C-alpha cells in the first residue's frame, strides 16, 4: 500500500480469495464428514446402543468395585423384611475429607418387631436423636440414608457389616433454606417438606428428619415436632431417625414401644466440651449451644450473659413440666391415657402435654 492505493496482481488476488474462503470450506467439509458418519452409524444403531449400555454398566460396576476395595466397604445383605442393621457405618464422603482413622463409625438398628419385645428398645421404628450442635447428628442421618441408597443400587457400603431391608422410598428433611422468590419463608419450606413426607411415606420407607419446628415460637415448634414424631411412629410406622434439640421428645420412648432415644456423646470439661461423635442409647438433656457460640467467636460478655439468662430460664420455665425427667409422673400418666384413646385428637394431646 502506497498513498492509500492498492497494488495487486492476478496471482495475489487468487491467493486472497482462497484464504478468505478456506474457513467456510473447512467447516463445510467437516459437516459433510459428520453427516456421512451419522448415516453410517444409523445403520448400526441397535448394536451400538447395546454396546453402550454394556460399557456403561461395566464402567459403573468397576468404579463401585474400585471404591469398595480402596476404602474397605462391605457387602450388604439385602432382605425382604423391615430390619435395618448397620454395624460401624461411615459417611462415604466425610470420611474421605478427614485424615485416615479420624472418622468415628457408628451403628444403627431399625425395624420394630412387636413379636420380640425384649429387643424392641434396641431396634425401634423411630430413633429420637439428641445431642449438642456440631456433634455429628446430621452426618449420622446422612450416612444411614447413603448406605441404604448405595446398597439398593448394587454397591458395597462403608460399614463393618450391613443387613438392610428394601426401602420403597427415602425421605429426608435437612438443612434450612428459603424460597423468597415464591414468598416462602424458611419455616414454610420446612413445613412443606414435612407435609410431603407425612403424606407419602409408608411402612417400608426410610424417614430422616434433621430438626422440625424451627423458625417459630418454642411452644409451636415443640408441639409440631412432637406431633410429627408421634405420627410417624403411630400412624405411618416407617423406619426413621429424628434429630432434634427439643429434649422433651425423649419422653416419647416411654410412651410408645417402637420409639427409642439415642444421643451423640460429648466429654464435658471445666471450660470446654470435647465432641466424641459417638452415638449411644439414651437421651441428651443439653445442647451446649452457648459453648458452640463461644467456639464460633461470640464476645465473652455475650457468652457470660447468655449463661446467666439460661440459668434463669431453667429455674423459672414450666415448659412440658409433666414430661421432664424426675417429674411426679402425673403428666406422663395423663399422656399415656390420651395416647391409648385413639378418639382423642392430636390437638387435645398436645394441649395436655404442654399444660
pLDDT in tens, 307-353: 889 888 777 765 544 444 444 455 455 555 545 544 334 444 333 33
CA 167 to chain centroid: 15
H helix or E strand, kind and range, residue 311? helix 300-316
**Mean per-residue pLDDT over the chain, rounded:** 84
CATH topology of domain 76-286: Rossmann fold (3.40.50)
Question: How many beta carbons lie within 10 A of that of residue 330, not counting itself?
Answer: 10
Distance CA 15, CA 11 (A): 6
Q: Which residues pair with 264 in a beta bridge?
A: 279
pLDDT tens per residue, range 55-82: 999 999 999 999 999 999 999 999 988 9
pLDDT at 289: 84
Number of H helices, E strands in the chain: 12, 10
Phi then psi dihedrals of residue 51, to 5 deg: -65, -45
Q: Which residue has the cell 395436655?
A: 352
Q: Based on the number of CB atoms within 10 Å of its own CB, is 18 exposed (0-12), middle (13-18) or buried (19 or more)?
A: exposed
- Residue 117: pLDDT band (50, 70, 90) is low
What are the domain boundaries of the chain? Answer: 76-286
Report the pLDDT averaged over residues 88-104: 92
Rg (CA), the chain: 30
Distance CA 94, CA 97 (A): 5
Amino acid at each position: 500500500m502506497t498513498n492509500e492505493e492498492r497494488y495487486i496482481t492476478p496471482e495475489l488476488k487468487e491467493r486472497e480469495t482462497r484464504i478468505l474462503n478456506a474457513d467456510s470450506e473447512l467447516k463445510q467439509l467437516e459437516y459433510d464428514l459428520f453427516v456421512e458418519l451419522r448415516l453410517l452409524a444409523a445403520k448400526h444403531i441397535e448394536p451400538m446402543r447395546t454396546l453402550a449400555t454394556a460399557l456403561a454398566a461395566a464402567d459403573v460396576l468397576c468404579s463401585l468395585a474400585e471404591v469398595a476395595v480402596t476404602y474397605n466397604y462391605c457387602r450388604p445383605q439385602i432382605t425382604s423384611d423391615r430390619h435395618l442393621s448397620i454395624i460401624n457405618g461411615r459417611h462415604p464422603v466425610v470420611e474421605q475429607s478427614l485424615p485416615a482413622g479420624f472418622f468415628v463409625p457408628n451403628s444403627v438398628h431399625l425395624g420394630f418387631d412387636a413379636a420380640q419385645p425384649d429387643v424392641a428398645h434396641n431396634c425401634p421404628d423411630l430413633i429420637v436423636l439428641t445431642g449438642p450442635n456440631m456433634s455429628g447428628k446430621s452426618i449420622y442421618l446422612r450416612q444411614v440414608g447413603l448406605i441404604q441408597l448405595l446398597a439398593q443400587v448394587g454397591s458395597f457400603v462403608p460399614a463393618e457389616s450391613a443387613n438392610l431391608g428394601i426401602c420403597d422410598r427415602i425421605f429426608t428433611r435437612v438443612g434450612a433454606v428459603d424460597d423468597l422468590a415464591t414468598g416462602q419463608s424458611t419455616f414454610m419450606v420446612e413445613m412443606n417438606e414435612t407435609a410431603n413426607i407425612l403424606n407419602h411415606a409408608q411402612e417400608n420407607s426410610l424417614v430422616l428428619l434433621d430438626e422440625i419446628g424451627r423458625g417459630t415460637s418454642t411452644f409451636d415448634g415443640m408441639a409440631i415436632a412432637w406431633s410429627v414424631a408421634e405420627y410417624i411412629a403411630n400412624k405411618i410406622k416407617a423406619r426413621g431417625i429424628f434429630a432434634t434439640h427439643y429434649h422433651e421428645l425423649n419422653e416419647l420412648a416411654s410412651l410408645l414401644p417402637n420409639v427409642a432415644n439415642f444421643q451423640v456423646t460429648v466429654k464435658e470439661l471445666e471450660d470446654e466440651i470435647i465432641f466424641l461423635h459417638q452415638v449411644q442409647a439414651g437421651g441428651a438433656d443439653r445442647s451446649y449451644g452457648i459453648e458452640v457460640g463461644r467456639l464460633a467467636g461470640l464476645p465473652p460478655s455475650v457468652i457470660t450473659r447468655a449463661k446467666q439468662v439460661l440459668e434463669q430460664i431453667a429455674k423459672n420455665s414450666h415448659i412440658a413440666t409433666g414430661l421432664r425427667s424426675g417429674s411426679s409422673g402425673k403428666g406422663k400418666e395423663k399422656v399415656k391415657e390420651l395416647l391409648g384413646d385413639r378418639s382423642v385428637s392430636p390437638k387435645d394431646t398436645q394441649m395436655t402435654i404442654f399444660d
